[in-house]
Amino acid sequence: MVKVGVIMGSVSDWEVMSAAAETLETFGVAYEKRIVSAHRTPDLLAEYAKTAKSRGIEVIIAGAGGAAHLPGMVASMTTLPVVGVPVKSKALNGLDSLLSIVQMPAGVPVATVAINGAKNAALVAVSILALHDEALALALEDFRRRQTETVLMTELQ
């Protein structure tokens, strides 16, 4: 059953957002990926956000660039946790994306990761799901252990 919704404002975001998909696949988390835009497909956005919970989605990862209203608008229409990924823009290097996602008014949160931080967005989703999934929790601990080992074993040339 699909647990995570990975949505993005444009097909052009996929280059960045595919890292979230790959990470979810590594952990065996079922996800769906969709293009949904607050600006270009506002009705679809409302439908997606309002039906996600009843469809069994537990976390939404939303990536967008520039005037990145998508994550905040989704968050306004669901009580599911929404993780926002500011996608690096050409004009302002993603600072516009970051600020428009992170500066939410109190009461409607978007958990915002770094510019192009799609991998970390997936890891946030995994850690949320792991709260009630023992196997996933063990896999996450194992991931962290292996990551630490890799750093400790790395020798500078």
Ligand X SMILES: Nc1c(C(=O)O)ncn1[C@@H]1O[C@H](COP(=O)(O)O)[C@@H](O)[C@H]1O
Binding-site residues for substrate sit at 10, 13, 40
Site for ligand X in 35-74 (CB under 6 A): 37-40, 64-70
Shortest distance (Å) from residue 14 CB to ligand X? 10
- In the complex with ligand X, the residue whose CB is nearer, 66 or 129, is 66
Site for ligand X in 91-150 (CB under 6 A): none
| Residue from the set 5, 6, 7, 10 that interacts with ligand X by CB under 6 A | 10
Residue 12 is a binding residue for ligand X (CB under 6 A) = yes
- In the complex with ligand X, the residue whose CB is nearer, 39 or 119, is 39
Shortest distance (Å) from residue 102 CB to ligand X? 14
What does the H/E/C string look like for the chain?
Answer: CCCEEEEECCHHHHHHHHHHHHHHHHCCCCEEEEECCCCCCHHHHHHHHHHCHHHCCCEEEEEEECCCCHHHHHHHCCCCCEEEEEECCCCCCCHHHHHHHHCCCCCCCCEECCCCCHHHHHHHHHHHHHHHCHHHHHHHHHHHHHHHHHHHHCCCC
Residue 9 is a binding residue for ligand X (CB under 6 A) = yes
Which residues contact ligand X (rule: CB under 6 A)? 8-10, 12-13, 37-40, 64-70, 87
